[in-house]
Amino acid sequence: FYAWLVRTCQQAGYRPGVVSRGYGGQSSSYPRRVHIDDDPHQVGDEPLMLARKLSCPVVIDPVRSRGAHYLYRHGCDLVLCDDGLQHYALGRDLEICIVDGKRGLGTGLLMPLGPLREPESRLNSVDFVISNGAGKLRHDGVMSLLPVALVNVRDPEIKRPLNSLDGQDIVAVAGIGNPARFFATLESVGINARHRGFPDHYPFSARDFTDCPGPVIMTEKDAVKCREFARDDFWYLAVAPQLDPDPGPQILKCLEARR
């Protein structure tokens, strides 16, 4: 979604930057600009993935407002806050909430009894709701992630067609919030693999793959943690976001009205 949002804003003339908490990272100083060759254990897996994927600055800082000021001082005129709906210490001009289309709001209960950080009524105060996959909640657009290629984890310049591993003993791994979604995506394009799910932000090491003699397919977020020890047959699934209907014009209209 960030790739789509950054591109939409850049095409409208904005100079966006992304600020993230840097969950899972152990940086010794903040704010910290994330570079493509950084250690994921220092900056976190998602910020590093964003830095490699987006054509805009990415900064980590548990104090998001400090990170936002850093971006403004370095030429950005629009700050996108990753996972920031509940970070009320940071002012905001526009709020976008992404919900899981299939799981919706789950039990509807707040943590720790349920999955929600805030009650369902919070959706009434956000500007846009994007459904990740078709669902029943009200939304302003449905996002689909369309698989486009297999990308080599060690050398991202190497890409192969989705069916290039047919007939091999493939293991699919995912250390994300909903591994089942990733496995279902692989199956939807005819990739048959043994599934191994891990907790979100799982710190992969080479030991996790000693019993995987054949090709391994993972998510792009997991790939940033596996690049250092990846074999030649480690691949991640590259996807392209599509939104229907396209909320871009309305998002830009809201941004312009609140400048």
Nearest to 22 by CA among 70, 58, 72, 56: 58
Q: Say how many C-beta atoms besides its own lie within 10 A of residue 49's C-beta.
A: 22
Contact partners, residue 37, CB within 8 Å, separation at least 6? none
Distances (CA, A) of 226 to 4, 145, 189, 208: 25, 22, 24, 10
CA atoms within 13 A on the CB side of 168: 16
Q: What is the pLDDT along the chain (259 residues), one digit of tens a residue?
A: 988 999 999 999 999 999 999 888 888 899 999 999 999 999 999 999 999 999 999 999 999 999 999 999 999 999 999 888 999 999 999 999 999 998 899 999 999 999 999 999 999 999 999 999 988 888 999 999 999 999 999 999 999 999 999 999 999 999 998 999 999 999 999 999 999 999 999 999 999 999 999 999 999 999 999 999 999 999 999 999 999 999 999 999 999 999 8
Q: Residue 39: what pLDDT?
A: 94
CA angle, 206 then 41 then 3, to 5°:
100
Euclidean distance between CA atoms 205 and 224, whole angstroms: 12
Q: Residue 24: what pLDDT?
A: 80
Phi and psi at residue 252, to the nearest 5°: -65, -35
Question: 112 is written with which tokens?
Answer: 């720790």
Q: Residue 124: what pLDDT?
A: 95
Euclidean distance between CA atoms 69 and 60, whole angstroms: 12
